[in-house]
């Protein structure tokens, strides 16, 4: 979720929302607008792009009014403002008007850094809206969404939802809202699976889970279902690779608590427990065999073979057999 500075009054004279995550930027704007309208239902909201904010426009918008109306002025993509308009904004930052809240949305890079620095120096309230590129960040986002609604979801449910939906925060937020509206009590992995198991990522990970657990028949059934519903073969090979690599990483790691191993291996603690259960039949030789099978399948689905479906079936069977290699030793 967006991180805010200690001075967290949405009606501060200036709010600076920094980052490139559109959902969080929009939420930062909505929070200010909602606070302003709560204080004055007739608040005038002006939402402007750089081409709409010409030199002199800000002065017009923030000039004293006979009716002393409250106003929110939102400037999007502030890093793209012209040099003359930046001068106007900097001048305004030095002496902001009463009853007016200025919201600057800035990407946070080197472009337009002078304006960014000026707003911070002026003491603007800052909301960080970074792009969430890491799975752990998206997982934390989902957990925060459930907490914000006052509802409980298991760690496994949150992970399955992230695996199923992917990286789009708007879709993740929408999925949380749907689950909260439709489901009573704690939301668990089974519930999320019922709603989202048809998603490509979810079904591909089901194939991988069954394969690394040595359940060949179930893995093949999941594979055929996934392919019949249009899941791209490359997504399945990616999921298989992740599953086998997780087995290999955990089997070669030093013993320790799930939390310690999670930090060392870059996995959530609950996944450490799951992989520990999956790796019971594995040997180092089995991991090597499975990795070769994944590599061959990957080449097969990317044009190296005539039948991608056969390449995947062969990989799944090989991985499932490798998962039981300890029992055959």
* The predicted structure's pLDDT at residue 81: 95
| Token pair 């061959």 in the structure block, residue | 296
Whether 135-196 and 14-129 are alike in CATH topology: the answer is no
What is the distance between the alpha carbons of residues 277 and 273, in angstroms, rounded to a whole number?
7
The CATH number, out of the four listed (1.10.10, 1.10.8, 2.60.120, 3.40.50), of the domain defined by the range 135-196: 1.10.8
Predicted confidence band at 69 (pLDDT cuts at 50, 70, 90)? confident
Q: What's the pLDDT score for residue 2?
A: 52
**Whole-number Å distance between alpha carbons of 215 and 186:** 29
Q: Is the pLDDT of residue 65 over 70?
A: no
pLDDT for the residue numbered 263: 67
Instruction: Give the pLDDT confidence of 137-153 residue by residue, as tens digits.
Output: 889 999 999 999 999 99
Average pLDDT, the chain: 86
Residue 259 pLDDT grade (very low, low, confident, very high; cuts 50, 70, 90): low
Q: Is the pLDDT of residue 286 over 70?
A: yes
Phi, psi of 108 (to 5 degrees): 95, 0
Distance of CA 286 to the CA centre of its chain: 33
pLDDT of 136 higher than 50:
yes
Residue 268 has pLDDT above 80, yes or no: no
Q: Spelled out in words, what is the top-level CATH class assigned to the domain 14-129?
A: alpha beta
Asked whether the beta carbons of 11 and 39 are under 8 A apart, the reply is yes
Residues 178 and 149 sit within 8 Å (Cβ to Cβ): no
Would you say residue 115 has pLDDT above 50? yes
Q: Is pLDDT at 19 greater than 70 in this prediction?
A: yes
Q: What is the length of the chain? A: 329
Q: Which two tokens stand for residue 79?
A: 């890093």
Burial class from Cβ neighbours inside 10 Å (0-12, 13-18, 19+) for residue 181 reads: exposed
CA distance 192 to 176: 10
Instruction: List the domain boundaries for the chain.
Output: 14-129, 135-196, 204-323
Model pLDDT, residue 329: 44
**Sequence-distant (≥ 6) Cβ neighbours of residue 213 within 8 angstroms:** 278, 320, 323
Question: Tens digit of pLDDT for each residue in 221-257?
Answer: 889 888 877 777 888 898 899 889 888 888 877 566 6
Task: Report the predicted TM-score, pTM, of the whole model to 2 decimal places.
Answer: 0.59
174-219: pLDDT as tens digits: 889 888 988 889 998 888 877 775 555 556 788 888 999 999 998 9
Of the pLDDT bands very low, low, confident and very high (cuts 50, 70, 90), residue 1 is very low
Q: Is 149 helix (H, G, I), strand (E, B) or coil?
A: coil
What are the tokens at 142? 């989902």
Q: What is the pLDDT of residue 254?
A: 59
The fold of 204-323 is Zinc Finger, Delta Prime; domain 3 (1.20.272)
Q: What is the C-alpha separation between 298 and 314, in angstroms, rounded?
A: 11
């Amino acid at each position: 979720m967006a991180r805010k500075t200690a001075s967290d009054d949405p009606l501060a004279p200036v709010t600076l929302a920094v980052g490139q995550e559109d959902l969080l930027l929009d939420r930062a704007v909505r929070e200010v607008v909602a606070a302003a309208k709560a204080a004055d239902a007739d608040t005038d909201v002006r939402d402007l792009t750089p081409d709409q904010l010409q030199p002199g426009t800000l002065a017009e918008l923030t000039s004293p009014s006979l009716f002393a109306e409250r106003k929110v002025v939102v400037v999007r993509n502030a890093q793209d403002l012209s040099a003359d308009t930046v001068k106007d904004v900097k001048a305004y930052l030095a002496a902001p008007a009463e009853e007016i809240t200025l919201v600057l949305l800035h990407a946070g890079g080197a472009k337009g850094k002078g304006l960014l620095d000026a707003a911070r120096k002026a003491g603007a309230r800052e909301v960080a809206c970074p792009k969430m590129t890491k799975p752990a960040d998206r997982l934390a986002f989902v957990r925060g969404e459930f907490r914000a609604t006052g509802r409980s979801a298991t760690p496994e449910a949150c992970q399955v939802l992230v695996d199923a939906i992917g990286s789009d925060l708007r879709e993740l937020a929408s999925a949380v809202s749907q689950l909260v509206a439709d489901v009573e009590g704690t939301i668990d992995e089974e519930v999320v699976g019922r709603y989202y198991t048809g998603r490509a990522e979810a079904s591909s990970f089901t194939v991988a889970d069954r394969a690394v657990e040595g359940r060949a028949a179930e893995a093949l059934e999941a594979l055929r279902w996934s392919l019949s519903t249009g899941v791209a073969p490359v997504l399945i090979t990616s999921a298989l690779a992740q599953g086998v690599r997780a087995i290999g990483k955990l089997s070669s790691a030093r013993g320790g608590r799930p939390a310690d191993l999670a930090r060392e291996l870059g996995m959530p603690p609950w996944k450490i427990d799951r992989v520990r259960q999956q790796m019971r039949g594995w040997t180092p030789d089995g991991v090597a065999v499975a990795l070769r099978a994944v590599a061959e399948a990957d080449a097969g689905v990317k044009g190296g073979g005539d039948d991608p479906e056969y390449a995947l079936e062969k990989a799944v069977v090989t991985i499932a057999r490798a998962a039981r290699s300890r029992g055959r030793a």
